[in-house]
Amino acid sequence: MEIIAEIGQAHEGSLGTALSYIDALSDAGVDAVKFQVHIAEAESSIYEPFRIKFTHQDETRIDYWKRMEFTLEQWKILKLRCEEKGVEFLASPFSNAAVDLLEKLGVKRYKVGSGEVNNLLLLEKIAQTGKPVILSSGLSSFKELDSTVDFLKERNINISILQCTTSYPTQPENYGLNVIKELKNRYNLKTGYSDHSAKTETCIAATALGAEILEFHAVFSRKSFGPDASSSLEIEEIKELVKAVRNISEALENPVDKSDNSRFADLKGIFEKSLAVNKDLPKGHILKFEDLEAKKPKNKGVSAEDFQNLIGKRLKSDIKKWDFITKDNF
């Protein structure tokens, strides 16, 4: 399982905050820390509407993107910090200029956000790098995904694909956990889940349903400013999630063979019981179901699993309450 923590815009354009996120998330045990590379002039214009107008600080959406930009030098610092902390620096570009920037950083692969699935210009640019792509599907139908997957396959790109719902925060009826398996069956690619539910249980369920990659938004506090804060997981939740996901992954990698219980032989013996009577019974009494009890340990008399053979049998001797029943009693 690959666990990717998406910082998105949670850094609010501050290099220091972005570095703190790398530190906190690598300590939480994720495999990759993910950024979005926004180069305002290359990807947007004054005509772009706000997805959520959460601040009056930025007059227009492009002003917001400008505030989220880092310089190449700053990106180098962020990537270096990821390397020092032993996590992959992963990013989604939102323009061809952003791909050029990421190439200068020497990234290993690319994430394509849900909004870019039909941006063939960007996909062509990424494909020209020859590097693997993780494709998100939050806004796409199968038909659109088919074309994008074909487009990348024709260019020999190694693709992974994520179920995602672009709705912030995503409500249970829209998680689409069923789609993880459908994507796997349809494309036979490495398949995962990109979460916006802000709930660890969604990611754990996705793991159990076969996701091989998990991505979720991270934030220091869901009360923070920002478009994704309410759809994100906090650091303590991420720590717990990482542990849970690693455990479930290990469980899934070790399927249990229920047809063979030989490993329980000793323990099973400790749990097994022998038959006893629950009242004083006189010689000549005919045993009924209501007379019987099953008590530990096993092998003290007739085994509990053989109780049906005793019903209707006549006692040859008295037997005291809670005494075990043996063959000699008949």
Ligand X SMILES: C=C(OP(=O)(O)O)C(=O)O
Q: Which residues bind ligand X (CB under 6 A)?
A: 36, 92, 111, 113-114, 136, 138, 162, 164, 166, 194, 215
Cα separations in angstroms, 84 against 8, 17, 110, 124, 219? 21, 17, 20, 32, 21
Q: Which is nearer to ligand X, 36 or 96 (CB)?
A: 36
Name the minimum Å distance from CB 51 to ligand X. Answer: 11
Q: Which is nearer to ligand X, 160 or 329 (CB)?
A: 160
Name the minimum Å distance from CB 91 to ligand X. Answer: 8
User: Are the C-beta atoms of 220 and 9 separated by less than 8 Å?
Assistant: no
Name the minimum Å distance from CB 90 to ligand X. Answer: 9
Q: Which is nearer to ligand X, 94 or 324 (CB)?
A: 94
Question: Residue 108 CA to chain centroid, in angstroms?
Answer: 23
Q: Which is nearer to ligand X, 215 or 234 (CB)?
A: 215
Name the minimum Å distance from CB 86 to ligand X. Answer: 22
Cα separations in angstroms, 211 against 177, 199, 203? 9, 16, 9
β 133-136/159-164 pair status = parallel
Q: Which is nearer to ligand X, 193 or 324 (CB)?
A: 193
Q: Which is nearer to ligand X, 133 or 315 (CB)?
A: 133
Task: Pull the structure tokens for residue 140.
Answer: 């796409």
Name the minimum Å distance from CB 57 to ligand X. Answer: 22
Name the minimum Å distance from CB 20 to ligand X. Answer: 20
Q: Which is nearer to ligand X, 139 or 304 (CB)?
A: 139
Q: Which is nearer to ligand X, 115 or 292 (CB)?
A: 115
Name the minimum Å distance from CB 252 to ligand X. Answer: 23
Nearest residue to ligand X, using CB? 113
Name the minimum Å distance from CB 201 to ligand X. Answer: 18
